[in-house]
Structure 1
């Protein structure tokens, strides 16, 4: 039986490439999405077996989208796609219950293995991500300042570094403006930075985002 897959990435060229790969694997592509909000809407509309979600998308982004998919469509298995294997995102996402974690530079054979195992009800973490998580565990300490943040704080931080305003974040995450301001202050304090510009530089330094993706 073919796996029904939704592809979520804000770059059309990336979606096209992944579509071709998955079609070669015998998957049925039921839809595509370019933002976090659209991803959640399309999953709820199309009920795919698997959703491949890019972590860095406009709007609520891949982290919040994955959490909402898990909440609204628990039968949909989420595989995260990311350009970076380091940073706090793998840990935070695996804690939410995503089924897989792949880097965009993975080989065709690895994507095939991930799809096969996730479709069978297993979990799959790409080798470079698994190695990084293991090394962090062995170190037994904090290797990344963003590890100090809770899941919600990390989500707000991601939206801040992508250029979202407090009002944008308030609407997208359904939080009061006052709560968003509190989160923002708490994030800056925990990361020991004073301004949003400092936060942007820290996010780039620790591969939380890329320079061309910041406001």
Structure 2
């Protein structure tokens, strides 16, 4: 039997995953968590076969959880399922150690097929993601956002969407000073000096396609600058 933990900050999403998996005798949901930090602790404690993660969660992002699972040499294989329609940075997730990448718009059968394939030790990418990676390999394109760490990437996206330091501090459970340090590092790596330029760059590279996911995760409309 394939053991699975579900990590998503939306209870209805986790309920939907559980309902699908409980109809299949080969899967067993052994735990759930509603933020990345709790999810990582759950993975470390249970070491399930699979962890199904949201990309954007409080405290630790899906990328950060994935990287820590890999660095900890845990047996759990990670499948990212995100609301992002165009998956703007799949390469980062693959480098972090993700074995699967899906969008929440995928059919139930694709979701179950992906989990089975990853459990069997094979990588699964949504067709649109695989096509994007193939095109990047052909034309040598990439994103300047690939230069950022997982935490910097999360903060850059939220800054581009209009979050301020205080809201980021509350959502990510880190200090305003740490947010400021990350912001300076982001600007240096992207060779920009203000949030307007960051938002423009994020739009050009498809990062703002995550706007609906981030707004949902923060629980409401964002304050714009």
TM over 0.5: yes
Aligned residue in 1 for 2:46: 46
Q: Secondary structure at the match of 1:210?
A: helix
Aligned residue in 2 for 1:68: 68
Q: Secondary structure at the match of 1:95?
A: helix
1:159-178 equivalences under 5 Å are 163-165=167-169, 170=174, 177=177
List gaps (5 residues or longer) in structure 2: none
In structure 2, how many angstroms separate the alpha carbons of the residues matched to 1:34 and 1:97? 21
Compare 118-127 and 63-72 and name the one that shifted more.
63-72
In structure 1, how many angstroms separate the alpha carbons of the residues matched to 2:29 and 2:47? 12
In structure 1, how many angstroms separate the alpha carbons of the residues matched to 2:77 and 2:149? 23
Could you tell me how far 1:17 is from its partner in structure 2?
0.7
In structure 2, how many angstroms separate the alpha carbons of the residues matched to 1:28 and 1:6? 9
Aligned residue in 2 for 1:23: 22
Structural RMSD (CA):
2.9
Aligned residue in 1 for 2:35: 35
Compare 115-124 and 9-18 and name the one that shifted more.
115-124
Aligned residue in 1 for 2:189: 190
Per-residue deviation, residues 156-204 of structure 1 (Å, max 9, x unmatched): 5357566423995657xxxxx57x6443212123334433465456546
Distance change >3 Å, CA 167–CA 196, structure 1 → 2: farther
In structure 2, how many angstroms separate the alpha carbons of the residues matched to 1:35 and 1:201? 29
Residue pair 1:157, 1:184 contacting (<8 A) in 2 also = yes
List gaps (5 residues or longer) in structure 1: 172-176
* Higher RCO (Cα < 8 Å, 6 or more apart): 2
TM-score, length basis structure 1: 0.81
In structure 2, how many angstroms separate the alpha carbons of the residues matched to 1:29 and 1:52? 10
